[in-house]
Amino acid sequence: MNEIAVQTQNLTRRFGKFTAVDRLTITVSRGEIFGFLGANGAGKTTAIRMLCGLLLPSEGEATVAGFDVYKSSEAIKKNIGYMSQRFSLYDDLTISENIDFFGGVYGLSPALIEERKEALIEQVGLGDFRKRLTRDLPLGFKQRLALGSAMLHDPPIIFLDEPTSGVDPRARREFWSIINELAAAGKTVFVTTHFMDEAEYCHRVSIMRAGKLIALDSPGKLKESYGRNNMQDVFVALVNDEDPRPEEQL
C-alpha cells in the first residue's frame, strides 16, 4: 500500500461569506507529482496555504506528513518545502549567501548547511554561478535557487506554486527534470501551473473551479474519459462548465 503524504476530507476555507475552497477531498501518495490546476481564483493557492500550515481551515480535516493542520502547523512547516508565486530570496546576496540565510531560518547547523549546500547547488544546476548576485541571474536560474532553498532542509513534501511562471520553454523543461528527479527519490511534489503541457508531466492532476474539485485522475485517463487529445482541451471544457465527454458517453 502506498504511503500517504497528504490527505484531506471536506477541507474548506471561507473569507466572510465567500468560500475560497469548498470541501476539498484528496489523498496524495509519497513520491507522487500532484498537479493543482484551475483558473485564477479557483482556490489553488488557498488550498496550498492551508496544507502548508499558513492558513487555518474553516472546517474539514487534513494531514500533511502525518501532522494535523489544526494542531501541528509548526511540525508541518518543518516537513515541507514551499516555493511561492513571488520570488522570495534576496537580490543583494549571492546564491551561496541566500542558501546560508535560509539554512539558518530552517535551524540547520553551519556544518550541515555547508554539506547540503554544495550538493544542492549542483543538483539544481547552479554550480557555475554560486558567487553571482541573485539580482544578476536570469529568471529561470532564480527559480532554481528558490527551489533549492525550499529543499535545503530535505523535506519529504514540496509545494510549488506556479514555479515556472514567466520563464522560457527551455528553462521550464529543465525545471521539470529536477521535479522528476525529486519524485524518483521519493519526494512528494505539489505543483500549481497555468501551462497545460506541464500538467502532462504530473502523475495525477486535480482541476478546481470556484473552490470545488471538479476532476481528479491521471492526465491519460482524463483525456480518455473526456475524449480529448490534450490536457488543454480537457481543462478548457471543464473550467468553462461544459460537459466535455464525447457524445456516445452522454
Q: Which of 54, 60, 59 is nearest to 74 (CA)?
A: 54
Res. 124: pLDDT tops 70? yes
Looking at the 3D structure of the chain, how many domains does it have?
2
162 and 249 both lie in a single domain? yes
What distance in Å separates the CA atoms of residue 38 and residue 213, rounded to the nearest whole number?
9
> Higher pLDDT residue, 174 or 65?
65
Assess whether 62 and 171 both reside in one domain. yes
pLDDT grade, residue 250 (50/70/90)? very low
Q: What pLDDT was estimated at residue 127?
A: 83
99/199 same-domain check: no
**HEC sequence for the chain:** CCCEEEEEEEEEEEECCEEEEEEEEEEEECCCEEEEECCCCCCHHHHHHHHCCCCCCCEEEEEECCEECCCCHHHHHHCEEEECCCCCCCCCCEHHHHHHHHHHHCCCCHHHHHHHHHHHHHHCCCHHHCCCEHHHCCHHHHHHHHHHHHHCCCCCEEEEECCCCCCCHHHHHHHHHHHHHHHHCCCEEEEECCCHHHHCCCCEEEEEECCEEEEEECHHHHHHHHCCCCHHHHHHHHHCCCCCCCHHHC
Domain boundary among 120, 154, 188: 154
> Are 24 and 50 found together in one domain?
yes
Name the percent of the chain lying above pLDDT 70: 94
Lowest-confidence range among 56-60, 84-88, 95-99, 126-130?
Answer: 84-88
Same domain? For 247 and 181 the reply is: yes
Domain boundary among 154, 180, 202: 154
- Please say if the pLDDT value at position 39 is more than 90: no
Contacts of 222 (CB under 8 A, 6+ apart): 205, 215, 228, 231, 234
Assess whether 159 and 50 both reside in one domain.
yes
Per the structure, the complete domain to which residue 14 belongs is given by 1-75+155-250
- The three three-digit cell numbers of residue 183, written as one number: 519524485
Q: How many residues does the chain have?
A: 250
The residue-averaged pLDDT of 7-26 equals 97
CATH of the domain at 242: 3.40.50.300
Task: Record the cell numbers describing residue 38, joined without a space.
Answer: 484551475
Domain identity same for 96 and 145: yes
**pLDDT for position 85:** 66
Give pLDDT tens digits for 146-199: 888 889 999 999 999 888 887 788 888 888 999 999 999 999 999 998 888 899
pTM of the model: 0.88
Residues 188 and 90 grouped into a single domain? no
Indicate if 148 and 172 belong to the same structural domain.
no
pLDDT score at 25? 97
> Predicted confidence band at 200 (pLDDT cuts at 50, 70, 90)?
very high
Give the sign of the dihedral formed by CA 56, CA 2, CA 193, CA 98.
positive
pLDDT of residue 87: 58
160 plus 146 within the same structural domain: no
Residue 150 and residue 168 share a domain: no
- List pLDDT tens digits, range 210-226: 999 999 999 999 999 98
The domain boundary, picked from 154, 170, 187, lies at 154
Distance between CA atoms of 33 and 201, rounded to whole angstroms? 8
Residues 117, 170: one domain?
A: no
For residues 194-211, give the mean pLDDT.
92
**Residue 142 pLDDT more than 90?**
no
* Predicted local distance difference test score (pLDDT) of residue 140: 83
